[in-house]
Amino acid sequence: MDKLIIQGGASLSGEIKISGSKNSGLPILAATILANGSMKLSNLPHLNDITTMLALLRCMGVDVTIDEKMCVEINPNSITHYDAPYELVKTMRASILVLGPLLARFGEANVSFPGGCAIGSRPVDIHLRGLEAMGAEIEVDGGYIRARAPNGLRGAHFFMETVTVGGTENLLMAAVLAKGKTILENAAREPEVVDLAECLVAMGAKIQGIGTDHLVIEGVDELQGCSYRIMPDRIETGTYLTAAAATRGSVMLRHTRADILEVVLLKLEEAGAKIESGEDWISLTMNGERPKAVSLKTAPYPAFPTDMQAQFMAMNTVASGSATVTETIFENRLIQVNELNRMGANISLEGNTALIKGVERLKGAPVMATDLRASASLVIAAMVADGETIVDRIYHIDRGYECIEEKLQILGANIRRVPG
């Protein structure tokens, strides 16, 4: 397994481009199943999860061609079967996103039941109950979700007890081809849900309330193919900004947007960062100053994203003052705490809240993480640590950060990958 070796001490400085969003690319790839024609997607990030979703589409018989710039052309009309096998679902939970589109378009889907993962049990009960409300017959058998809607789905009025990003996306993709009107209440408002909805509208779907928690979908008979550009990755953006703040640096990020990470920018300003932004760029400078500790609590959008919690905790470990970080979305997502403490951080845990007392510097150590964003927090910690840190199991990082070591090298970090 590859490792990252990082010598701490450099302040990040310079300019990089942000990649397309993984979490909007995945549902949009699943949505291509709905098109009666060819879809052209650009700005997909070159990441393992995206490759897995393309492999999943291919194994159903979907025609996929990719050019050297990761522009992908997909024609689902060659689809021959409607299965998401265990071998692919076990490597990527987001495979569940093909369930809604397959059922809506072909009346049949067999998707391996996604298991729990390092950050929590992550059930899919709301996805299944929403599809049942639209008339699907669902059975769980031999580890597979077998869903049928031989006469098509019909519109329903459905309330989601928990705000779920994947659940909202699956039900939205099912509803666009259902007969009649669907109302999704307490829908997730994450920018990635908005990006998916806008792509569906470009394909001919009728959706109102985009960006709100009340989505009204009028089913149509057919959707067409279209060309669509995936939005920038707000979590990648936030990660580099936080890394720059932690290292007292100054960075310019291109190909990104400030309006999709407002709370994160406000929190970075609270930490002492000076932030400016334009239509497709964000800059941050700390003027060489140590960040101030900032408290936060994760919650669904527009509140502070759970996917940025670990990176802020890493910044807080070397900030002046103390802060609390409370995780409310996933039950086991403070997994980076032990590793950060091994690097000399002062973090104590009480339930789902971490109390972080800032220290002057961390100390390099061999570390590893079992989750994508926790791994990113260890890379940030390594850059503010004295000496060398070896981050193991970086396949987690490769799931969410395109060319992370190249981008950090451009910003002046002393980081290299060694094959394991």
Q: Cα–Cα distances in Å, from 305 out to 126, 262, 317?
A: 21, 11, 19
Decide whether 50 or 415 has the Cβ nearer to ligand UD1.
50
d(CA 98, CA 14): 39
Q: Report helix angle 22-31 to 191-202, nearest 10.
A: 30
* Least distance between ligand UD1 and beta carbon 344 (Å): 28
d(CA 298, CA 307): 9
Which residues are 369's β-sheet partners? Answer: none
What's 347-406 look like in SS3? EEEECCEEEEECCCCEECCEEECCCHHHHHHHHHHHHCEECEEEEECCHHHHCCCCCHHH
Decide whether 83 or 192 has the Cβ nearer to ligand UD1.
192
Q: Cα–Cα distances in Å, from 386 out to 9, 290, 344?
A: 6, 16, 10
Contact residues for ligand UD1, defined by CB under 6 A:
23, 26, 94, 120, 122-127, 162, 164-167, 192, 306-307, 329-330
Decide whether 248 or 333 has the Cβ nearer to ligand UD1.
333
* Least distance between ligand UD1 and beta carbon 228 (Å): 17
Of 100, 56, 64, nearest to 81 (Cα)? 56
* Structural contact between residues 116 and 371, judged by C-beta atoms closer than 8 angstroms: no
Residue 117 bears catalytic tag: yes
Decide whether 256 or 309 has the Cβ nearer to ligand UD1.
309
d(CA 174, CA 154): 9
Half-sphere exposure of 59 (CA within 13 A, CB side): 17
* Least distance between ligand UD1 and beta carbon 23 (Å): 3
* Least distance between ligand UD1 and beta carbon 168 (Å): 8
Residue 106: count of CB within 10 angstroms of its CB: 17
Exactly one of 117, 199, 226, 403 is catalytic; which is it? 117
* Least distance between ligand UD1 and beta carbon 125 (Å): 5
Of 420, 377, 412, nearest to 397 (Cα)? 377
Q: What is the token pair recorded at 205?
A: 């779907």
In the complex, residue closest to ligand UD1 by CB:
166
Decide whether 192 or 250 has the Cβ nearer to ligand UD1.
192
Decide whether 11 or 306 has the Cβ nearer to ligand UD1.
306
* Least distance between ligand UD1 and beta carbon 306 (Å): 5
Would you name the residues annotated as active-site residues? 117
